[in-house]
Amino acid sequence: MRFASLGSGSKGNSTIIQSDNTCIMIDCGFSVKDCVRRLERLNKTPNDIDAILVTHEHSDHWKGVLPLATRYSIDIYITSGCLRASGLDANSYLGINLIDSHKAFKIGDIEVKPIPVPHDANEPVQFILQDANSRFGILTDVGSITPYIIEQYSGCNGLLLEANHDLQLLQSGSYPRFLKDRVGGQWGHLNNQQTADLLNVIDHSCIQQLVIGHISLSNNSKQLAKASIENVYKGAANIIYADQEEGFDWLHLSAL
């Protein structure tokens, strides 16, 4: 299995996971044109994508999903709460597959497990994807850590984890009060310290590739995230910091 990102942050997110015979996109917060351009960097076209999984309806994740899916006839997998929040119904597009946020399902040779998370969206989920050889987890847009998150994200080989903001920078920054409360609250985003703590409490012994993403351009920096996380987390894996514009290139997970 290998994974890559078309971009990561509040201006747009999209992650690609590729197994032996299946290619899955998680979210698409970019226009079709922008998405195609970004896919080219990874030597992919929309025709290579078997399915798009949707985490939640915020535009940095959802904006390009339906335009891309309808244009290239790609299946969409989405919770009913998220679909409702996006203003569509299951008949809006033939390729819509409603998922149970507590139930795993298969796409090709990949088992997809939705993980319900606390975030200020409608029935938001994150995902763990597993093939015969490895296990990849994505966890962004989550305001607080639940016991279920700790249990499920333990034992991943590849992990894309949010470190959205530096708490001090958020509090002293230019955001209006309501937005500071939203971003930093229980239903907002993880700060650097929460991310570092999470890495220490999950079983991180199997991590081969660790990426920190959804780093705020206003309330954080790669340097701040790196300093907070690498000060606390002593796991073996080298840490990559995802970029809003560049995402990150293919990262390979070797067989267990």
Closest to Zn ion by CB, 60 vs 131, is 60
Q: Which of 27, 57, 123, 141 binds Zn ion (CB under 5 A)?
A: 141
Q: Tell me how many residues contact Zn ion (CB under 5 A).
A: 3
Q: Specify the DSSP element, H or E, that contains 222.
A: helix 222-232
Q: Specify the DSSP element, H or E, that contains 111.
A: strand 110-116
Closest to Zn ion by CB, 54 vs 74, is 54
CB of 244 vs Zn ion, minimal distance in Å: 11
Instruction: Give, in order, the Cα–Cα distances in Å from 94 to each of 48, 69, 74, 157.
Output: 19, 10, 10, 34
Question: Residues in the chain, how many?
Answer: 256
| Residues of span 29-48 touching Zn ion by CB under 5 A | none
Closest to Zn ion by CB, 58 vs 204, is 58
Q: Which of 35, 49, 52, 60 binds Zn ion (CB under 5 A)?
A: 60
Closest to Zn ion by CB, 63 vs 204, is 63
How far is the C-alpha of 93 from the C-alpha of 105, rounded, in Å?
20
Interacting span for Zn ion (CB under 5 A) from 50-58, 108-116, 205-213, 240-248:
50-58
Is residue 8 a contact partner of residue 217, using CB atoms and an 8 Å limit? no
Instruction: Give, in order, the Cα–Cα distances in Å from 24 to each of 44, 110, 168, 202, 251.
Output: 12, 9, 36, 25, 15
- Helix (H/G/I), strand (E/B), else coil: 107: strand
Closest to Zn ion by CB, 44 vs 56, is 56
CB of 108 vs Zn ion, minimal distance in Å: 26
Beta pairing, strands 158-162 & 209-213: parallel
CA-based angle 155:253:9, to the nearest 5?
A: 80
Q: Which of 44, 58, 135, 180 binds Zn ion (CB under 5 A)?
A: 58
CB of 164 vs Zn ion, minimal distance in Å: 8
CB of 220 vs Zn ion, minimal distance in Å: 13
| Beta-carbon-side half-sphere exposure of residue 68 (alpha carbons within 13 Å) | 32
Q: Would the CA dihedral through 229, 230, 234, 239 be positive or negative?
A: positive
CB of 85 vs Zn ion, minimal distance in Å: 11
Closest to Zn ion by CB, 118 vs 155, is 118
Interacting span for Zn ion (CB under 5 A) from 35-43, 62-70, 140-148, 241-249:
140-148
Applying CB under 5 A, does 57 fall inside the site for Zn ion? no
CB of 155 vs Zn ion, minimal distance in Å: 25
* Residues of this chain that bind Zn ion (CB under 5 A): 58, 60, 141
